[in-house]
Amino acid sequence: MATIKITQTGSPIRRDPSQRATLIGLGLNKMHRTVELTDTPEVRGMIRKVHHMVSVAE
C-alpha cells in the first residue's frame, strides 16, 4: 500500500483545539517532526483539516 510522509511545519499555538487533536492523531506534536503513514482517505481528511500546518511528500 502507498505511504506518504507528513512533516509538521506550523505551530499549533493559538489554534483550534480540534486542530491540535488532529495533529496528535497524525502522530505529530513537535515542529519539524516527520511521520510516514499509509495513504488512506481518513489520513487525507486529517491532512486537509491542518493543511496550513503540515507539508506532504508522496
* Helix, coil or strand: residue 56: strand
CATH number at residue 40: 3.30.1390.20
Cell match 493559538: residue? 14
Structural domains of the chain, count: 1
| pTM (2 d.p.) | 0.92
Mean pLDDT computed over 34-47:
98
Q: Count CA atoms closer than 13 A to 28's CA, side-chain side.
A: 28
Give me the domain span that covers residue 21. 3-57
Q: What is the pLDDT of residue 13?
A: 95
pLDDT tens for each residue of 13-40: 999 999 999 999 999 999 999 999 999 9
- Give the strand order in the sheet containing 54-57: 34-38, 3-8, 54-57
CA distance readout (Å), 56 to 2, 7, 14: 13, 7, 22
- Whether residue 1 has pLDDT greater than 90: no
- Whether residue 55 has pLDDT greater than 90: yes
What average pLDDT is seen over the chain? 97
